[in-house]
Structure 1
Amino acid sequence: MKQVKNAALFFVVTLVFLQRFAFADESAAQILNSIRLAEISQELDGRLRKEDGTIIPFHLKAGGDELVFTFSNPTEVLRLRFEDNGSTLTRQTGDHERVITGAKLNDSVRGTDITYLDLSLRFLHWKDSRIEGEQNLRTFPSWMILLQQPDRNTPYASVRVWVAKQSGALLRAEAFDAQSRLLKKFEVISGQRIEGKWFLKQMRIERYDPDTGKLISRTYLEINA
């Protein structure tokens, strides 16, 4: 699904005024479906940078409705495929490629603050969504949308996303538990032009202690054109 592919790397640009509106759920779904990534066919180098300075390089291949992340030492290939009703994330080690499902989605990617669930961006397909209002996010007028997940087996009970009105880009996402306590925050820091189109350059991922609300750690996702 092309629109979700955009979010995958946005995921995969802050607060001024908040206005309340009474929008139908259908409007929220339409905005989520408008999220777009400039279609590119590129092979790029990137890295995950942990707060302690640890660098985890990867190779990214973007094309069609698929993103492929290749890590080394040890070799691990993550293949994210986008479909009309969701996304599929597979993990290949050696000759074995398996779909990541269930509790495995909550595992960390290479020991960072990013999980396989985060990478799959499945929350964008949750049916329960509503527009909460508007905010200017770094001068970009944006819709603020709340998505809720009835499945208690996932760590995220709800996710709030900010979508730029003009570009349809996903600029920020905040994930909460069933008690509405912040668990994770994703924020685009900068972008870049690739083939004349906007693409992610740097994103910050922060993990929070739900009991205290304090920041635990952060990881940066960085893409080099």
Structure 2
Amino acid sequence: MLGKPRTPAATLWRAFFLTLALVAPLAGWAQHKRYRPQPDYVQVGVPDQEEGRRLLAAFRSMGLVGDYYFEFQLRVMPRRGDERVYQGQLWSTRGPQGTLTRVVLHDPAGGERRLLVQSGEHPALWSWQTGDAAPRKLGLAELFEPLVQTDVTPFDLQMPFLYWGEFAYEGTFKMRGRPSDRFLFYPPAEMGIAYPALTGVRVSLDSQFHALVEVEQLGEGDRSLKTVSLLELKKAQDQWLVKTIDVRDATTRNKTRFSVTAAALGQEFSRALFEPAVLADEVRPPAEARIVRLAP
């Protein structure tokens, strides 16, 4: 007995699944062939990778004692055009899922952009700005969108690469005359899909202060996409903190300078302050008596 003739719909479905069967291996091959920066060892021989893991674990456990509050400014220095300055504030604490930082950026026109940044092994980020009905969680691709017409992005604030599972320890070297440890981090697959331009992040850590000295985002062919450089540390209330950072975009050649202008360290903030649902609410800074003003 002859079978029923195939309908056009059945034929189309068969062609569709056949196409999937052919395309899926090609997609996997393309992902496998994606450019991958090679380690550039800064000492003789391959550095001890277990030592690198130990150094990285020690760095991850470091931080300011207690909660803290900063006032800062972002000075935008474009290659062409006039400079702009944006004022901001941040509150930070350590939670069970990692560091939580609430950031407020003030627009000269009177609006605000607020972010709640969760760093660590389980990164997450929420955003609210003037006019929004409620805070919302940002997707991976949105991590690379500039904030208030600067070269700073949520990715720069969150620094998720410090917890990426795959990295190479490139060794100890001297950077600006100081001993530093250098690492090359590789983005996980989901990050590569969301932002394929990023192929790696090279990080240098000060060996004594356990501070980030430089972060370089890498693209195809090891091309530098952006560099974040530590310019100055400052001691305030018996703790060392980051005072000045430069963010340079290699494509536009613009520079944004982050400068801490005031700090209140050793604080204890309510955990309710770091709930995404209250990101739209106003928050008052600590009492003026607790804040140290930092000279330029």
Q: Please tell me the TM-score bracket, short chain as reference.
A: 0.7 to 0.9
Structure 1 residues 172 and 100: alpha-carbon distance in aligned structure 2, compared to 1, 3 A threshold: same
Query: Counterpart in 2 of 1:71?
Result: 105
Q: 1:106 aligns with which of 136, 140, 144?
A: 144
Q: 1:148 aligns with which of 160, 168, 186?
A: 186
Structure 1 position 50 matched with structure 2 position 92: no
CA distance, structure 2, for counterparts of residue 167 and residue 56 of structure 1: 29
Q: Is contact 1:48–1:56 with CA below 8 Å preserved after alignment? A: yes
Structure 1 position 181 matched with structure 2 position 223: yes
Structure 1 position 167 matched with structure 2 position 205: no
Aligned residue-pair number = 202
Q: 1:223 aligns with which of 260, 263, 280?
A: 260
Runs (5+) with no aligned partner, structure 1: 1-17, 210-214
Structure 1 residue 103: Cα displacement: 1.7
Q: Which has the larger radius of gyration?
A: 2
Structure 1 residue 181: Cα displacement: 0.7
Q: Is contact 2:119–2:160 with CA below 8 Å preserved after alignment? A: no
- SS across alignment from 1:105: helix
Structure with the bigger percentage of strand:
1
- SS across alignment from 1:216: coil
Structure with the bigger percentage of helix:
2
Q: CA RMSD in A?
A: 1.9
| Larger mean Cα displacement after TM superposition, 198-207 or 34-43 | 34-43
Q: Which has the higher contact order (CA 8 A, sep 6+)?
A: 1
CA distance, structure 2, for counterparts of residue 86 and residue 125 of structure 1: 9
Structure 1 residue 38: Cα displacement: 1.9
- SS across alignment from 2:73: strand
Deviation digits for residues 202-221 of structure 1, max 9, x if unmatched?
10000113xxxxx6211111
Query: Counterpart in 2 of 1:37?
Result: 63
Q: Is contact 1:20–1:134 with CA below 8 Å preserved after alignment? A: no
CA distance, structure 2, for counterparts of residue 47 and residue 161 of structure 1: 24
Deviation digits for residues 17-39 of structure 1, max 9, x if unmatched?
x4234235443333222222222
Q: Is contact 1:43–1:62 with CA below 8 Å preserved after alignment? A: yes
CA distance, structure 2, for counterparts of residue 222 and residue 74 of structure 1: 21
- SS across alignment from 1:104: helix
- SS across alignment from 1:34: helix
What TM-score comes out, normalization by structure 2 length?
0.63
Query: Counterpart in 2 of 1:134?
Result: 172
- For 1:187, the aligned partner's letter is S
Q: Is contact 1:150–1:157 with CA below 8 Å preserved after alignment? A: no
